[in-house]
Structures are given as structure tokens and as C-alpha cells.
Amino acid sequence: MNRYETHCHTAESSACASAPGAVQADFYKSRGFKGIIVTDHFLNGNTRADRHTPWEQQVDIMFLGYENAKKRGEEIGLDVFFGWEYTIEGSDFLTYGLDKEWLLAHPETVTMPPNDYFDLVRSAGAYVSHAHPFREDWYIEMIRLLPRKCDAVEIINSCRKPFENEMAKVYADSYGLPYTAGSDNHHANQARLSGIETEETIRDIQHFIEVLRAGNYRIFDEVKE
């Protein structure tokens, strides 16, 4: 089986991460993964991009960690794909399937109302999974559930409490939404990792979406002793 990380961050692009893209690539290779999806924070979230700079420069920063991870992945035999984590005041949504050219052409995504954002990216072919939907923290005023705007729910997040993951599964089951799982790894030192396993090798991010839509995968959650 091929293992894939669906949710991780890099120091180049996410302000809350400490592991550069190349370090993340080395880490996942050492843990036996076939590939990773770098999902750094979108430009309306905890990004390292300066919001006062031109849109093109912000996008460059957002992609930098992924690009460095991909370069290292090509050297060591790890497949690296791109996504991002869109934020609504502490509620996060993993967006897969869109590329740099698309984002450069849509600067409105950073300020448009959330429902319009979801409609736009999904109409462009994106796949959206609600990350850790029941996460609680001091800066999160409320839990937001948008089942009609998402394609899946992250029911296992390696950084969240068991109760929060259990509630995410209840949520997904209640609305008939598929499951995803991810480590939410920011620091390349986690003992617990989660993600998806597939029999087939994922070729690119569009193939990843096809695999999810077809249900040709299983989720895993593992702690390295």
C-alpha cells in the first residue's frame, strides 16, 4: 500500500510551522510515505506572506514551501503535491486541485465571502475537505459546519483530541460525506501520523481527487513507538 500525507505545513509559507519544505520531504520519506500534499495556510490565514505586497508576491510565498518540498522530493523519490488550507476565523478547509496559475488569476479569493469562495473553487474543479471541524481553541469563537459546501470531512487529525475526531466522524456520517485523514504536521517531529493509503500510485493532485471520489483508499492513524 502507498501512504500519503494530506495535510502538512512548511516554514517558508505558514507562519506557525518550523520545518522547511525540504525537511518535511526528508521526514516523510524516512517514515515510509510515497507522497505528501503540502497544504500551507491560504493568504487569508496564518501565512508568512506580507499582505501589503502585490498579489503575485504573496502567491510566490504561499507556494515556496511546496516548491522546496517538491524539489527535494524529486531528489529522494517522494511525490509532492499542492493544496492549501483556507480559513474562516479559525475554521479551516483543505482545498485540493487548483494550481499557481489559477490562483494568480483570482486575487478576489482572499477577500470574497466564504460561500462565494467555496462555490468558485469547487466550480473550478477543486475538492474541499473540512479540516478538524470540531477543533476548540481560545481564538475560535464558534464551530462552523458547512456540509453543503464541502466534499469530505477530515475525521482524523493527528494533532486533535480523540473527542474532536470522534465528533468529526459523526458529522461526516450524518451528512454522508467521505472521510479524509491528515497529520497537520508543522514541525517534522510527530510520532503520530495519519493520512490515506492506496493500492495505486497517485500520479498528480487531480488523480488524488479521482481516488477520493471513487473511494479507492482507506484512512490510517499510526503512532511510531
Query: At 81, which CATH number?
Result: 3.20.20.140
Rounded-to-integer distance, Cα 177 and Cα 153, Å: 7
CA torsion sign for 127, 154, 65, 136 is positive
Take residue 171 and report the three cell numbers written for it. Answer: 458529522
Model pTM score: 0.97
What is the count of structural domains for the chain?
1
Rounded-to-integer distance, Cα 136 and Cα 75, Å: 39
Predicted confidence (pLDDT) per residue in 7-49, tens digit: 999 999 999 999 999 999 999 999 999 999 999 999 999 999 9
* Percent of the chain whose pLDDT exceeds 90: 97
Containing structural domain, residue 207: 2-223
Predicted confidence (pLDDT) per residue in 108-140, tens digit: 999 999 999 999 999 999 999 999 999 998 888
